[in-house]
Amino acid sequence: MDNEEKNSKLKKSSQYKSQIALLIMTVSVFGLFMITSPEVFFKGRIYQAFLSTVPIMGLMALGLTFVLAMGEIDLSFPSTMALSGFIFTSTFQATGSVTLALIYSLLSGVIVGFINGILVTSIGIPSIVATLGMQFLIRGFSNIISNGLAKTVALDKTISYKIFAEKLGVIPVQSIWFIGITIFFYFLLFRHKFGEHVLFIGDNQEAAKMMGVNVNRVKIMVFILMGIMASFAGILSCYRMRTWWPTMGEGYIMMVMAAAFVGGTSMFGGEASIEGTFIGSFVIGSLEAGIVAAGLSGFWTQFVCGVLIIASVTIHTLAKRRK
């Protein structure tokens, strides 16, 4: 009994080591910002700004966490975000119906995800290649249909603006969406049959197949989930800026991946951390503002971001290695 207790305690401590390290890192990043620019980081406004911007990339990072847990990757989501944003704004302009615009926009994410899934499963293209191709294809497609011109829409005159862009008290609604979806995804991945299948596929695809998991169907569904998250991020972006612009989503790809990796999700599949992605999104998403507020040039953002990724992934890897 002694032995058993010791063993399970040991296991737990290594399990939480990663999470503790992530928390320490988060606290020290924000602590550093508070020291370097107290006039900014001791006021609520900057946090309010984070709470409205970080969720947009964070939602995509949550979707990507599922893809990574399955041992795959998706590079097409920034373009999907742009395409869905365009479909959202143009449907709204043409029909004046927010509901219709939301449905068509999310549907475009479903379709992109479905195509990604088919390319990876039925055709058998590695996901990194398939989604790289799709990234260009969709970006090109949305530029062709939009003529590369930005669109401004009067979304602030609709009731839906309250749900997707305003504040609830002092809290921006984007962050409420982000928290809600994070909790839902946590249960979906760790407490639901679907998530268990995702983890088993990422861990040992053959075993999953032999135990009766429909591997192809689950993979397609995860790519669809990623597509929906990208669409939703596009919609929130359009609401926030009341504009759609053709380069929407560009620059997100590395940040979104960084958020997932900093959070402790690995590329090997079979394991993931939803709460890690949530925290990682805030760390990565607040870097630029913090560094610029400290009076450093934007070039430092990339450097610090790189340091954070290397440091956190090193810690996660070492924590896992110890038995």
Among 17, 167, 209, 240, binds other proteins (CB under 8 A): 209
* Position 323 contacts other proteins (CB under 8 A): yes
Report the nearest approach of other proteins to the CB of residue 144 (Å).
39
Residue with tokens 């979707």: 63
Per-residue binding letters, 3-42, with other proteins (x by CB under 8 A): xx-xxx--x-------------------------------
C-alpha 42: how far from chain center = 27
* Position 298 contacts other proteins (CB under 8 A): no
Among 32, 111, 203, 254, binds other proteins (CB under 8 A): 203
Q: What's the rounded Cα separation, in Å, for the pair 217 and 100?
A: 28
Report the nearest approach of other proteins to the CB of residue 210 (Å).
5
Q: By CB under 8 A, how many residues form the interface with other proteins?
A: 30
Q: Which residues contact 317 (CB under 8 A, 6 or more apart)?
A: 266
Among 48, 93, 160, 204, binds other proteins (CB under 8 A): 204
Q: Which stretch binds other proteins (CB under 8 A): 56-64, 169-177, 186-194, 308-316?
A: 186-194
* Position 207 contacts other proteins (CB under 8 A): yes
φ and ψ at residue 243, rounded to 5 degrees: -145, 145
Closer to other proteins by Cβ: residue 207 or 310: 207
* Position 1 contacts other proteins (CB under 8 A): yes
Q: What's the rounded Cα separation, in Å, for the pair 52 and 46?
A: 10
* Position 191 contacts other proteins (CB under 8 A): yes
Residues 251-290 within binding reach of other proteins (CB under 8 A): 270-271
Q: Do the beta carbons of residue 82 and residue 247 sit within 8 Å?
A: yes
Q: What's the rounded Cα separation, in Å, for the pair 227 and 215?
A: 19
Taking Cα atoms as reference points, which of 225, 212, 249 lies closest to residue 70?
A: 225
Report the nearest approach of other proteins to the CB of residue 250 (Å).
34
* Position 217 contacts other proteins (CB under 8 A): no
CB count in 10 Å sphere of residue 20: 12
- Residue 249 has, within 13 A of its CA and on its CB side, a CA count of 31
Q: Which residues contact 18 (CB under 8 A, 6 or more apart)?
A: 264, 273, 276, 315, 316, 319, 320
Note the residues at the interface with other proteins (CB under 8 A).
Answer: 1, 3-4, 6-8, 11, 187, 191-194, 196-197, 199-200, 203-204, 206-214, 270-271, 323
